[in-house]
């Protein structure tokens, strides 16, 4: 300060009282000067203190003298600045408080449980969700309690506790599934605070309740298990079915087939999976093939279809139903089928036998009733013929009567023979060699065959004995071979072949004739059915053959050979296997 | 902001703490305008220590501070955050 203003300025050189007054004023002036210096120093010191708080250097004396310092008013300036700092701090505190409230609201409102845990596994803080999920309702305050006691009901941190890992490694840890108090959680722990050495001192643990998802997964697993078990059960049932089962898709492709179907159709699984069902039944008439088409809405029951494959010909009884999805749309068809070839054959044999028995009984009655009058007609015709007074015309007419009566007698005998077969039980004590019987039959017919230039070829496999009367069997062979010879006419071949299975002997007679019209095949063993001109056959020959074979528990069948001609097949049970029919 | 008032404060040749006191005085005088973002205080100084003390103090008061090192001096801009 270059000058200080004094309240009383005493001019020099005044006498007496005035001198005393000047001195007093001078002293007062000095006192005020000293005070002024002290105040300036005080202000400078306080200014320096404040500047130090502001983080800068103290005032240097050369920078501002006392007068400049006072006029600058540094304390006022710094006070003004402090007021701004104070205002800003208040604003910041208010913002932080608001932010803290927002954070707390988010902390509590979030759908996951959140805890802050210290190194001793004491809970520092937890949100409402965490309390709701894992804290007993009776507990008012969990802060300071051990998390393993409150959340896990354990005496210490478990091996599956991710917080242990986070404290140890300093890294976040995710555990996808932890069970706590009958609930399942996905846990994430992440470092929250570290000490000066960088060690984690607090972690945040976030717990997501996955109990509902877990239960849904378990339910799904249970349902899947149930579904798989049911599927396996169903597959076993389908596989164990004796009926064939086939499922096709919307493009008629086979998508499922059971073992019985593969066996009946003689297919491998691999072959079947590549096929469209229509390709399996190529020989079916078009109207029959519609049952296989996915576009056919109807169901079919016991639909009989002929299935041909290589040299096999099977009669199948097929059931077909449409397959629907959940919306009721057709997505394919389900077929079940069985091979009824044998069943059909047995039915035919049974009907034939029934027919034979009925006709046999009828024939026996008629033959018996006709035999006596016919004998009388023949006897009297012969007696009259012995007379010598007959005109030639009368003699001729009587001869015709006698001849026709004799022919009728033959028919009557055949009828009686047929009826005896039908009603008399066979003798089951006699056994014979089927091959030998065939050889004997050919010997009997050799002259007839030679006359027709027909060669008989035998391809015989050694056969065990069958239970049958060789004489009656010979009658069968003679009848069949003679039929074949008559069918051939002249120049041809008859092949007789035998073979044997575990329980049966089989012999086939194949001729090179024209074959039998398909419409006649089913009637060929019917009594009185003949294709020969009237008067040339009784139609009883093959009926008698069928009767004899049936009597011995066997079967006789006829079919046209693929290359032409007819094949008769005779099957007889081996001795010990025979059973009556 | 096109109509922002820019107050230039040339304290070249001055050192701390005088610089700081001068700047603080200006900030007190124009406090309201600075807070509202109507005014920016642009200070020219060649005293290096000032580039520390002024921004520190201004930030504590809630202002945004930018320091640019120009060829022969520093330019400190103080304005609304």
Distance CA(A570)–CA(A466), nearest Å, equals: 12
Backbone φ/ψ region at A16: left (φ over 0), alpha (ψ -120 to 50), beta: left
pLDDT of residue A373: 85
Q: With contacts defined as CB-CB under 8 Å, which chain A residues touch B21?
A: 51, 72, 74, 77-78
Facing residue for B61 by CB, picked from A58, A63, A88: A88
Q: With contacts defined as CB-CB under 8 Å, which chain A residues touch B57?
A: 54-55, 81
Confirm if A210 and A185 have CB atoms less than 8 A apart.
yes
Residue of A483, A573, A473, A493 whose CA lies nearest to A524: A483
ipTM of the complex in this document: 0.93
User: Domains of chain B, with CATH numbers?
Assistant: 5-80 (3.30.110.40)
- Banded model confidence at residue B15, pLDDT cuts 50, 70, 90: confident
Q: With contacts defined as CB-CB under 8 Å, which chain A residues touch B56?
A: 55
pLDDT beyond 80 at A333: yes
Higher pLDDT, A33 or A65: A33
- Banded model confidence at residue A435, pLDDT cuts 50, 70, 90: very high
When the candidates are 3.40.30.10, 3.30.565.10, 3.40.50.720, 3.40.1160.10, the CATH number that belongs to A427-581 is 3.30.565.10
B61–A84 CB contact, under 8 Å: yes
The mean pLDDT value for A483-502 works out to: 92
- Banded model confidence at residue A493, pLDDT cuts 50, 70, 90: very high
pLDDT of residue A59: 83
Confirm if B78 and B65 have CB atoms less than 8 A apart.
yes
pLDDT of residue B68: 95
pLDDT of residue A57: 82
Confirm if A4 and A36 have CB atoms less than 8 A apart.
yes
CA distance A79 to chain B (A): 10
pLDDT of residue B16: 81
Burial zone of A309 (CB within 10 Å; 0-12 exposed, 13-18 middle, 19+ buried): middle
Dihedral of alpha carbons A270, A271, A272, A274, sign? positive
Mutation target among A77, A82, A93 for the B interface, most CBs of B within 10 A:
A77
Tokens 């001078």 label which residue?
A: A26
Facing residue for A63 by CB, picked from B18, B53, B57: B18
The mean pLDDT value for A300-323 works out to: 87
A–B interface: beta-carbon pairs under 8 A: 58
Confirm if A257 and A337 have CB atoms less than 8 A apart.
no
B16–A56 CB contact, under 8 Å: yes
A54–B17 CB contact, under 8 Å: yes
The DSSP bridge partners found for residue A457 are: A495
Tell how far CA A321 is from the center of its chain: 19
A63 in contact with B, Cβ within 8 Å: yes
pLDDT of residue A277: 87
Distance CA(A575)–CA(A467), nearest Å, equals: 5
The mean pLDDT value for A206-216 works out to: 90
pLDDT of residue A537: 67
Facing residue for B21 by CB, picked from A77, A84, A88: A77
The mean pLDDT value for A519-524 works out to: 84
Q: Which of A370-374, A429-433, A469-473, B3-7 has the lowest mean pLDDT?
A: A370-374
Distance CA(A554)–CA(A543), nearest Å, equals: 14
Tokens 């020969």 label which residue?
A: A532
A51 in contact with B, Cβ within 8 Å: yes
Facing residue for B28 by CB, picked from A56, A77, A92: A77
Q: With contacts defined as CB-CB under 8 Å, which chain B residues touch A57?
A: 16-17, 49
pLDDT of residue A424: 61
Q: What is the mean pLDDT of chain A?
A: 85
Tokens 């050369």 label which residue?
A: A62
A77–B49 CB contact, under 8 Å: no
The rounded percent of chain B whose pLDDT value lies above 90 is 74
B16–A58 CB contact, under 8 Å: no
Q: What is the dihedral of CA A401, A404, A410, A416, to 10 degrees?
A: -80
Q: With contacts defined as CB-CB under 8 Å, which chain B residues touch A86?
A: none
B28–A64 CB contact, under 8 Å: no
For domain A110-209, give the fold.
Beta-Lactamase (3.30.450)
Q: With contacts defined as CB-CB under 8 Å, which chain A residues touch B61?
A: 81, 84-85, 87-88
- Banded model confidence at residue A15, pLDDT cuts 50, 70, 90: low
Nearest CA in chain A to B62: A88
Q: Give yes or no for a cis peptide into B17 (omega within 30° of 0).
A: yes
Q: Which of A36-40, A85-89, A335-339, A432-436 has the lowest mean pLDDT?
A: A36-40
CA distance B42 to chain A (A): 18
pLDDT of residue A579: 42
A81–B24 CB contact, under 8 Å: yes
Mutation target among B9, B16, B21 for the A interface, most CBs of A within 10 A:
B21
A54 in contact with B, Cβ within 8 Å: yes
Q: Which CATH class is domain A350-424?
A: mainly alpha
Q: With contacts defined as CB-CB under 8 Å, which chain B residues touch A81?
A: 24, 27-28, 57, 61
Q: What is the DSSP letter of A469?
A: -
pLDDT of residue A97: 94
- Banded model confidence at residue A269, pLDDT cuts 50, 70, 90: confident
Distance CA(A341)–CA(A348), nearest Å, equals: 11
B28–A55 CB contact, under 8 Å: no
Q: Which of A260-274, A420-434, A476-490 has the lowest mean pLDDT?
A: A420-434
pLDDT in tens, A218-256: 899 999 999 999 989 988 888 888 899 999 999 889 988
pLDDT beyond 60 at A12: no
**Secondary structure class of A223 (helix, strand, coil):** helix
Facing residue for B61 by CB, picked from A59, A74, A85: A85
Q: With contacts defined as CB-CB under 8 Å, which chain B residues touch A88?
A: 60-62
When the candidates are 3.30.450.20, 3.40.630.10, 3.40.50.620, 3.90.700.10, the CATH number that belongs to A242-339 is 3.30.450.20
The mean pLDDT value for A332-349 works out to: 86
Q: For B8, what's the count of Cα atoms within 13 Å in the CB-facing half-sphere?
A: 4
B60–A58 CB contact, under 8 Å: no
């Amino acid at each position: 300060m270059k000058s200080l203003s004094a309240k009383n300025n005493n001019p020099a050189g005044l006498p007496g009282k005035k001198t005393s007054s000047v001195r007093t004023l001078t002293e007062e002036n000095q006192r005020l000067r000293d005070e002024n210096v002290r105040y300036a120093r005080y202000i400078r010191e306080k200014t320096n203190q404040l500047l130090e708080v502001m983080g800068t250097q103290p005032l240097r004396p050369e920078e501002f003298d006392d007068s400049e310092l006072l006029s600058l008013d540094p304390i006022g300036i710094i006070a003004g600045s402090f007021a701004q700092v104070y205002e800003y701090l208040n604003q910041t505190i208010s913002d932080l408080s608001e932010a803290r409230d927002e954070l707390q609201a988010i902390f509590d409102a979030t759908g996951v449980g959140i805890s802050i845990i210290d190194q001793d596994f004491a809970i520092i803080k937890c949100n409402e969700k965490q309390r709701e999920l894992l804290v007993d309702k009776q507990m008012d305050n969990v802060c300071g309690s051990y998390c393993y006691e409150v959340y896990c009901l354990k005496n210490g941190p478990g091996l599956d506790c991710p917080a242990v890992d986070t404290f140890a490694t300093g890294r976040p840890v995710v555990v996808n599934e932890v069970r706590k108090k009958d609930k399942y959680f996905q846990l994430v722990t992440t470092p929250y605070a570290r000490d000066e050495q960088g060690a984690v001192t607090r972690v945040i643990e976030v717990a997501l309740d996955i109990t509902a998802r877990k239960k849904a997964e378990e339910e799904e697993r249970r349902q899947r298990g149930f579904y798989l078990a049911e599927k396996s059960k169903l597959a076993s049932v389908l596989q164990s079915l004796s009926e064939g089962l086939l499922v096709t898709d919307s493009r008629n492709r086979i998508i499922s087939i059971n073992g019985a179907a593969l066996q009946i159709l003689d297919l491998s699984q691999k072959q079947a999976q590549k096929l469209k069902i229509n390709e399996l039944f190529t020989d079916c008439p078009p109207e029959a093939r519609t049952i296989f088409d996915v576009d056919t809405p109807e169901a079919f029951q016991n639909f009989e279809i002929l299935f041909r494959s290589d040299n096999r010909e099977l009669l199948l009884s097929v059931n077909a139903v449409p397959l629907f999805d959940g919306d009721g749309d057709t997505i394919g068809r389900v077929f079940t089928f069985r091979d009824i070839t044998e069943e059909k054959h047995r039915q035919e044999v049974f009907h034939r036998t029934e027919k034979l028995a009925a006709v046999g009984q009828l024939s026996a009655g008629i033959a018996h009733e006709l035999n006596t009058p016919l004998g009388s007609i023949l006897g009297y015709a012969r007696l009259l013929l012995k007379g010598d007074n007959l005109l030639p015309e009368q003699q001729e007419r009587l001869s015709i009567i006698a001849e026709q009566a004799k022919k009728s007698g033959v028919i009557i005998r055949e009828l009686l023979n047929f009826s005896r077969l039908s009603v008399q039980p066979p003798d089951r004590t006699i056994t014979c060699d089927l091959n030998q019987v065939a050889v004997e039959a050919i010997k009997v017919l050799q002259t007839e065959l030679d006359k027709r230039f027909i060669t008989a070829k035998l391809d015989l496999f050694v056969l065990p004995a069958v239970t049958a009367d060789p004489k009656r069997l010979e009658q069968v062979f003679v009848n069949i071979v003679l039929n074949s010879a008559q069918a051939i006419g002249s120049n041809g071949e008859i092949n007789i072949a035998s073979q044997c299975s575990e329980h049966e002997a089989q012999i086939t007679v194949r001729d090179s004739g024209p074959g039998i019209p398909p419409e006649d095949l089913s009637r060929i063993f019917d009594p009185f059915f003949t294709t020969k001109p009237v008067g040339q056959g009784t139609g009883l020959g093959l009926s008698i053959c069928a009767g004899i074979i049936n009597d011995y528990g066997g079967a006789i069948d006829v079919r046209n050979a693929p290359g032409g001609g007819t094949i008769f097949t005779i099957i007889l049970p081996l001795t010990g296997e025979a059973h009556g029919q | 902001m096109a109509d922002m008032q820019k107050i230039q404060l040339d304290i070249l040749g001055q050192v701390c703490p005088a610089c700081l006191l001068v700047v603080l005085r200006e900030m007190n005088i124009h406090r309201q305008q600075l807070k509202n973002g109507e005014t920016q205080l642009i200070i020219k100084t060649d005293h290096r220590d000032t580039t520390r003390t002024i921004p520190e103090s201004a930030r504590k008061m809630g202002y945004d501070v930018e320091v640019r090192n120009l060829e022969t001096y520093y330019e400190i801009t103080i304005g609304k955050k």
